[in-house]
Structure 1
Amino acid sequence: MPATDPSSAPERPSDEVIEALHKLVLESLDDDQAVDTISIPLAGKSSIADHMVIASGRSTRQVASMASKLAQRIKVETGRSARIEGLPNADWVLIDAGDVIVHLFRPEVRSFYNLERMWSFGDAPAAPATGPATAPATGTA
């Protein structure tokens, strides 16, 4: 069995590239009027991604639309294809963009699973995200 060459592993994108992807995700969700968008920093806490973004849509139609537009925008602006799960039902859609994981929910499904609590690591609550950068919520989405 051949040994795995560590130098052949895909190279991790730079912090600037990761932050640009994170900003793109937040801007897209803001443009599509996502509700209660939060961003949970995972860098140094989990190897799955550097950021987890959680947001709600008011209906399955809005959740599906936000997910499709976000995946398309990621493809156009980064050249990377995001993987999408859950689009047919659109109660909970997962978008894996590599260094940023996005969960889009209908409000009642989000409340049931409560991912924010699960991923808080006992630290301060996840930072609300409004617009292109994480910032305190202003009461609008």
Structure 2
Amino acid sequence: MQSLDDDQAQEVVSIPLEGKSNIADYMVVASGRSSRQVASMAQKMAERIKKSGRNARIEGLPAADWVLIDAEDVIVHLFRPEVRSFYNLERMWAFGDEGEA
């Protein structure tokens, strides 16, 4: 979260996945203003994760419309705003939290 804040990511959302999925403990979704900013944020985040002694795999970097960073217990999705609104991951992963009784 600090890395995204440092890189001026927009609309950063952290989604707890415990009880919803076993792929990770958290999913973080954020936007960059352009493909160039998304790519830069992804590269810097991966470097910071690796420096902390953890693994980080990146997918989607060449186009940088949607970049996924798998940091083991945290999955980070970085989007250009138009692509983020199209896929709307926050709504998909929050499904079932609202209005269920």
- The alignment's TM-score, normalised by the length of structure 1, stands at 0.68
Q: What secondary structure, in the 3-state scheme, does the structure 1 residue paired with 2:86 have? A: helix
2:42 is the alignment partner of 1:67: yes
One-letter amino acid matched to 2:45: L
**Computing the radius of gyration over CA atoms, which structure comes out larger, 1 or 2?**
1
Mapped partners of 1:100, 1:70: distance in 2: 12
Pairing partner for 2:6 from 31, 39, 43: 31
Identity of aligned residues (%): 79
1: CA distance, partners of 2:28 / 2:80: 14
Give the Å deviation of 1:44.
2.0
Please, what is the CA RMSD of the aligned residues?
A: 0.8
> Residues 83-131 of structure 1, C-alpha deviation per residue, up to 9 Å, x if partnerless?
000000000000000100000000000000000011003215xxxxxxx
Determine the C-alpha separation between the residues in 2 that align with 1:70 and 1:40: 18
Q: Which runs of 4+ in 1 moved over 3 A?
A: none
Q: How far off its partner does 1:81 sit?
A: 2.2
2:21 maps to 46
Residue 88 (structure 1) aligned to one of 53, 62, 65: 62
Displacement after TM superposition at 1:80 (Å): 1.7
Structure 1 unaligned segments of length 5 or more: list them: 1-25, 125-141
Give the C-alpha shift of residue 35 in structure 1: 0.2
Is the 2:38–2:65 Cα contact (8 Å) retained in structure 1? yes
Name stretches of at least 5 consecutive residues in structure 2 with no aligned partner: none
Aligned residues: 98
Q: Which residue of 1 aligns with 2:83?
A: 109
State the distance in 2 between where 1:117 and 1:55 align. 14
